[in-house]
Structure 1
Amino acid sequence: RGRTTFPNKWPLFSLLSAKETAAVRQACVFGNSANEALYVTHSNEFAVIGLNCSNCLGTGDSLSTIAPRALDALRGKKVASFSYGSGPHVLLATESGELYAWGHNGYSQLGNGTTNQCASPALVTTNLQGKRFKEVACGSHHSLALTTDGEVFAWGYNNCGQVGSGSTANQPSPRRVAGLLQGKAVVGVACGQTSSLALVDNGELYSWGYNGNGQLGLGNNGNQLSPCRLTALQGLCVQQVVAGYAHCLALTDEGALYAWGANTCGQLGTGNKSNQHSPVQVMAEKERVVEVAACHSTHTSAAKTQSGQVYMWGQCRGQSVVLPHLTHFVSTDDVFACVATPAVMWRLLSLETEDFMTLSQALGREFDSPETADLKFSVEGKYIYVHKAVLKIRCDHFRSMFQSHWSEDLQEVIEIEQFSFPVYRSFLHFLYTDTVELPPEDAIGLLDLATSYCENRLKRLCQQIIKRGITVDNAFTLLSAAVRYDAEDLEEFCFRFCVNHLTRVTQTAAFWQVDGAMLKEFICRASRCGAFKN
């Protein structure tokens, strides 16, 4: 999820030894002064470090610690989602669907029906029998949890309607958020300090709670006690939403970024400090955005583009940056480590190991190098220089090919005819670097190769490139290819995109050039989804 230089950029983690640091797989820095952290090791051990305000470390006592302490209550669990409030209070959903809460509870934000602090992780069970959870979000003193079947539950402080119950009475235990969300399948939730957001599977966005800065995106500044749809985004398909202290960012499936709400520090990126009560597009002149980042503890915003460029704006080290500023960072996480106040994490951070990257770099340097290569591939009249041993180690196809009874084992040059030069070179480059750099249309050819050679990781990477590169113009071409190569997940993704942008997709050349059977199958399937209902 991003290659942050961990843990150097997070001061709290300098308290860990080199051995302890090497064991970290997931981590989150939180708290009002970024003085608390929870992390998970590669062996699924949980540990905490820091100040322990309001028992938020979950150690069973109120003692601070500069040495890691184990959280035995969570040993062996796997984290699906983690969030924290201002108290701080903490919510954690496990991969098996359990929901834990601990820390500050002055407004019943732990959902246990009391206002007593909880010093250890405790299961949240009231009104939740049989429910499994996949995502959690905390506001300052309220909580949201999303079930695996798309229901949202809320509880805690409700002075502005942020629990979505239709009143302003505090909610001591979980209650399902209904109203306009009734019958909708929610796929994501987010919280500002005193506002709430829900993203529905069809790309619609709903908001409720405090709206004094326009952070609900409804075109006014009146509080809402139950979910309201952001009609200003009608016709767009939102795929990610995040909330800052009092502002919001939404990313559409076409890579467009919209912002609204408070703007006193320039956190909307509009070039001024005027609040916006309705979504406005920002970074429109830049390349496609693939990730947005904000956190309800800060007035900072960040975004990552398709080529990996990271931008930041808003409150940055005390300065107000009113337009997206291109950084040297490689992940949005680094923005929050280096410029946000407090320097908290906007999400649970998953880490890649340095050794893996170093080996990849060393191999990558020798790819297509005539000096050290012992084999050439000839594709479309051009050579690609490789190392037979590397190919045998990295790919079962080549391990089989380079056996003594195969003629290829004796050849110094192997001719390739069934794939194009860019596709085959990209495949060989992948074997050296674990990365793929191709436009989505070429990634289709590479997906074909990956399928032929049974390279499942490469198939997944190709699918990711295609998902991030999908546009109205190429959507139907990509859908046809996904069907042809039997890529079910990708097919479903492309199909959903085509349905969400049906009118414009049916006006593209790609739509009318496809064969009749494919066209008929698409129309029948889209009809079954209700795409042609008025």
Structure 2
Amino acid sequence: MEDEPPPSQEVSVKVLEATLLSALKMLDVGKWPIFSLCSQEELKLIRQACVFGSAGNEVLYATENDEVFVLGMNCSGCLGTGDMQSTIEPRRLDSLCGKKIACLSYGSGPHVVLATEEGEVYTWGHNAYSQLGNGTTNHSLLPCQVSTNLVNKKVIEVACGSHHSMVLTSDGEVYTWGYNNSGQVGSGSTANQPIPRRVTSCLQNKIVVNIACGQMCSMAVVENGEVYVWGYNGNGQLGLGSSGNQPTPCRIAALQGIRVQRVACGYAHTLVLTDEGQIYAWGANSYGQLGTGNKSNQSYPTTVIVDKDRVIEIAACHSAHTSAAKTQSGQVYMWGQCRGQSVIFPHLTHFACTDDVFACFATPAVMWRLLSVEPDDHLTVAQSLKKEFDNPETADLKFLVDGKYIHVHKVLLKIRCEHFRSILNNDDEIIEMSEFSYPVYRAFLEYLYTDNIRLPPEDAIGLLDLATLYRENRLKKLCQQTIKQGICEENAIALLSAAVKYEAQDLEEFCFRFCINHLTVVTQTQGFAEMDHDLLKNFISKASRVGAFRN
């Protein structure tokens, strides 16, 4: 483990003793009605859960010791118990116990596709259209591993349409199978596909980073932020500006110059989240699920305004006509179908997570993803060290910056940073630092304890300078991410200048793109008025080349 010192070096017992704690937080699943069938003792053991089915009447969950249980109606054998009997008592799935579930998705047949942390894929349930990928059209009442064409492949993400399935491998390849009446498996035909086959066409040489399925369509985001779509398009859910079906992957041209990070699909509408924290939506809109203020379908990507905050998460599932988003400040919004009503603008909720939107507002009350709980009271060595940052009781070294002390531990600094290995001596007690400001240097030292940084984007520029000087490449990347997340019209030019100064090419391209996308406001800021002459000259030249000044 990176943060754990070798046995030859000593760390205070106070720093390490908390690793003996092992209590875990309970997963809050009480908002989903089906869990009323479980006892409080059973609920306390749940660590992962997914509620699915046409009425939210089926659930699969895993416990703290990796046992897997199911409960509910068992339509089409979707509980995987080996029979089609419904159950109000949790039943154990022996074949999945100990497997450690990584992700899960479900179709409306219903059928279930599950991937383990080892990258294995298991399917069961409805199979009239070969959506289980086992080469037959026979329902499967037990979880069966899907291996055809996936041998030596590690699956990291799964997605289901109504009757088709899709998986993403660790090397960025997409495989599909099942129902294909509208081209949703992307093979170029409309013949059903009984086994997994790689989606090629224009994805052949692309690395895919995210996938999603609508009821009868499929989506893939590639590493450069482009979005590729295929399948049914009767409601404009492919975002291509038309309503014709697409039998092979096609790039959404209307998103040219916009880098998408995530895609989420509802029954017949689509949401994407960009690297600037903006949402675009398109497709069916009869319940206001696009959040555009009306109920008209849209076949082109349309901006969704969620207050003025940056969005960090989007949510939708093809069982419902509901959309949700979470902002950087932790606020959760929902729109679309809400208990029979139509909400046509993003509405601020009192929830802390998007999962609760689907438990309380969506019909049926399902989960849009596998819900997991992280360890809470259990502290690893890394978490214990994080608590000891700037603790004068255990520290053996102080940095004096801008008249303020920062308390640290020599051994950890030497373990974590090449710079300190070369300059720290055993007799050092206080080191004065004048090259960097207190917020910047404190953030740097805290990073060595936590692997994270907490700084506004303007201060992250100073930290980027430090990371460049100390040759901390990972820290440079984190600084660039922080700057991207905090960019706005007022600071865009300053951040662009910093990116140029520190030769951060990816960040420079991002800041330039932001300035072009918000050109009118950016050119009216004080930062633009005080822009360095050479930088201004280059900016205008580059902006002209991309057509920013055309009428």
TM-score relative to the length of structure 1: 0.76
- For the aligned residue pairs, the C-alpha RMSD in angstroms reads 4.6
2:358 to 330, 336, 346: 336
| 1:130-529 alignment runs, 5 A limit | 130-283=152-305, 286-353=308-375, 355=377, 380=402, 420-423=437-440, 438-443=455-460, 465-466=482-483, 468-469=485-486, 473=493, 474=495, 477=498, 494=507, 497=510
Partner in structure 1 of residue 63 of structure 2: 41
Partner in structure 2 of residue 74 of structure 1: 96
Q: Which has the higher contact order (CA 8 A, sep 6+)?
A: 2
8 Å CA contact 1:269, 1:313 repeated in 2: yes
Q: Residues of 1 paired with 2:501 and 2:479: CA distance? A: 15
Q: Which residue identity does 2:79 align to in structure 1?
A: L
8 Å CA contact 2:337, 2:362 repeated in 1: yes
TM superposition shift of 1:407: 8.8
Name the stretch that deviates more: 116-125 or 239-248.
116-125
C-alpha distance 461-499 of structure 1, shift in aligned 2 (>3 A): closer
Q: Which runs of 5+ in 2 are unaligned?
A: 1-24, 380-385, 391-397, 415-425, 536-551
C-alpha distance 48-306 of structure 1, shift in aligned 2 (>3 A): same
The answer to whether the aligner puts 1:65 opposite 2:82 as a matched pair is: no
TM superposition shift of 1:442: 2.7
TM-score relative to the length of structure 2: 0.74
8 Å CA contact 2:27, 2:373 repeated in 1: no
- Tell me, what secondary structure is at the counterpart of 1:441? helix
Q: Which residue identity does 2:131 align to in structure 1?
A: Q
TM superposition shift of 1:45: 2.7
- Tell me, what secondary structure is at the counterpart of 1:264? coil
TM superposition shift of 1:459: 10
TM superposition shift of 1:254: 1.3
Q: Deviations over 1:40-75 (max 9, x none)?
A: 333333222222221112222223333333222123
- Tell me, what secondary structure is at the counterpart of 1:311? strand
Give percent identity, aligned residues only: 63
Q: Deviations over 1:343-381 (max 9, x none)?
A: 111111221356479xxxxxx9xx99xxxxxxx998645
C-alpha distance 104-285 of structure 1, shift in aligned 2 (>3 A): same
TM superposition shift of 1:496: 7.8
8 Å CA contact 2:457, 2:486 repeated in 1: yes
C-alpha distance 197-449 of structure 1, shift in aligned 2 (>3 A): same
Q: Which residue identity does 1:477 align to in structure 2?
A: A
Q: Which residue identity does 2:251 align to in structure 1?
A: R
TM superposition shift of 1:341: 1.0
Q: Residues of 2 paired with 1:146 and 1:91: CA distance? A: 12
TM superposition shift of 1:503: 8.1
Q: Which runs of 5+ in 1 are unaligned?
A: 358-363, 369-375, 398-404, 484-490, 514-534
TM superposition shift of 1:458: 10
Q: Residues of 1 paired with 2:165 and 2:287: CA distance? A: 26
Q: Residues of 2 paired with 1:499 and 1:289: CA distance? A: 21
8 Å CA contact 2:31, 2:359 repeated in 1: yes
8 Å CA contact 1:303, 1:312 repeated in 2: yes
Q: Residues of 1 paired with 2:509 and 2:124: CA distance? A: 39
Q: Residues of 2 paired with 1:356 and 1:470: CA distance? A: 35
- Tell me, what secondary structure is at the counterpart of 2:291? coil
8 Å CA contact 1:289, 1:304 repeated in 2: yes
Q: Residues of 2 paired with 1:428 and 1:419: CA distance? A: 12
C-alpha distance 442-108 of structure 1, shift in aligned 2 (>3 A): same
Q: Which residue identity does 1:438 align to in structure 2?
A: L
C-alpha distance 103-495 of structure 1, shift in aligned 2 (>3 A): farther
Q: Which residue identity does 2:294 align to in structure 1?
A: N
Q: Residues of 2 paired with 1:109 and 1:31: CA distance? A: 16
TM superposition shift of 1:85: 0.4
